[in-house]
Amino acid sequence: MTSIPNVTINMAMTLDGKVSRPDGRWYGLSSRNDKKRMDEIRSKADVLILGKNSILNDDPVIHLRYVENGNDPRPVILLRSGTLPEDKKVFRFSKQPPLIFCLNGNYSAVRDNLCSVAEIILLPGEDLSPLEVLKHLYEMGYREALLEGGPSLNDSFFRLDLISRIYVTIVPFLIGQNDLPSITGGHKQYFEFDRKKWELKSHDAIENEVFLMYEKIK
Ligand SMILES: NC(=O)c1ccc[n+]([C@@H]2O[C@H](COP(=O)([O-])OP(=O)(O)OC[C@H]3O[C@@H](n4cnc5c(N)ncnc54)[C@H](OP(=O)(O)O)[C@@H]3O)[C@@H](O)[C@H]2O)c1
């Protein structure tokens, strides 16, 4: 059997299930409580997998700010094409150099641009398979992965049934625009999506937000 790390996902969504504003970014809709919760979840992970568009659009803070003496998970970025600007926070403030997985087509661009701020791993083949990335991470000794992708990256993990735990924060806003993404999704439904697969393990409300945690039923 293939060994891979446990993969947990953490996302915040509005009451109407959106994870991005109409401008394609996520800011100003989660409270300090959610950020604290996010850091607590991050502090339990060995690696933090981030989406390329999320880094480009949101430039997220990746170091822990609300957990004392916690270990920052190592950032992991999947790049199938192109590269990223080296002035993003993930490269400037990470305690450990981010790990970047890329392909033959963009390896030299990534290396030229980011070799001084990241460790770069070239994977064979035409597409970056999340399963191959996870196998690699396991071989490197990482056992707990936290995925905070955008919905596209999340979808590529859900589609291969690689996620075992979901944290969702519901924030008290309705955006209303119908073409905004949810926590995950591509062009097709998931296989047997209507079979009960997820069990609610915890739920709590703090002020005006709800924090949910589901685990996959084995
Ligand atoms: N509410 C929340 O909690 C939350 C959290 C995170 C993000 N977000 C929102 O999500 C938005 C971005 O989401 P997004 O879906 O556009 O992008 P994303 O998931 O952040 O990044 C997707 C990109 O990652 C690259 N990638 C590499 N390997 C991949 C793979 N195996 N599968 C899928 N993508 C892969 C692709 O670019 P290449 O093909 O060019 O490499 C792809 O276009 C952000 O702007 C942010 O506002 C919200």
Tens of pLDDT, residue by residue over 55-105, are 999 999 999 999 998 999 999 999 999 999 999 999 999 999 999 999 999
Q: Give the residue, by CA position, lying nearest to ligand 1 atom 30.
A: 153
The yes-or-no verdict on residue 211 having pLDDT over 80 is: yes
Rounded CA separation 180/19 (Å): 7
pLDDT of residue 218: 86
Per cent of the chain over pLDDT 90 is 94
φ and ψ of 138, to 5 deg? -65, -45
pLDDT of residue 196: 84
pLDDT (average), residues 183-188: 93
Separation of CA 151 and ligand 1 centre (Å): 6
Report the atom number in ligand 1 closest to the C-alpha of 58: 45
The yes-or-no verdict on residue 2 having pLDDT over 90 is: no
Tell me, using a 6 A CB cutoff, whether residue 26 lines ligand 1. Answer: yes
The yes-or-no verdict on residue 166 having pLDDT over 90 is: yes
Per cent of the chain over pLDDT 70 is 100
Q: How far apart are the first and last CA of the chain?
A: 16
Computed over every residue of the chain, the mean pLDDT equals 96
Separation of CA 31 and ligand 1 centre (Å): 22
Tell me, using a 6 A CB cutoff, whether residue 19 lines ligand 1. Answer: yes
Q: For residue 38, how far is the Cα from the chain centroid? A: 12
> Helices marked H in the chain — which ranges?
32-43, 52-58, 89-92, 104-114, 130-139, 151-158
Neighbouring residues of 151: CB distance < 8 A, sequence distance ≥ 6: 19, 20, 181, 182, 183, 184, 185
Report the atom number in ligand 1 closest to the C-alpha of 12: 3
Tell me, using a 6 A CB cutoff, whether residue 54 lines ligand 1. Answer: yes
- Show contacts of 130-133: CB within 8 Å, 24+ apart: 130/78, 130/156, 130/157, 130/160, 130/162, 131/2, 131/4, 131/160, 131/162, 133/49, 133/76, 133/78, 133/101
113-160 pLDDT, tens digit per residue, is 999 999 999 999 999 999 999 999 999 999 999 999 999 999 999 999
33-63 pLDDT, tens digit per residue, is 999 999 999 999 999 999 999 999 999 999 9
pLDDT of residue 188: 95
Verdict on whether the full-model pTM lies above 0.85: yes
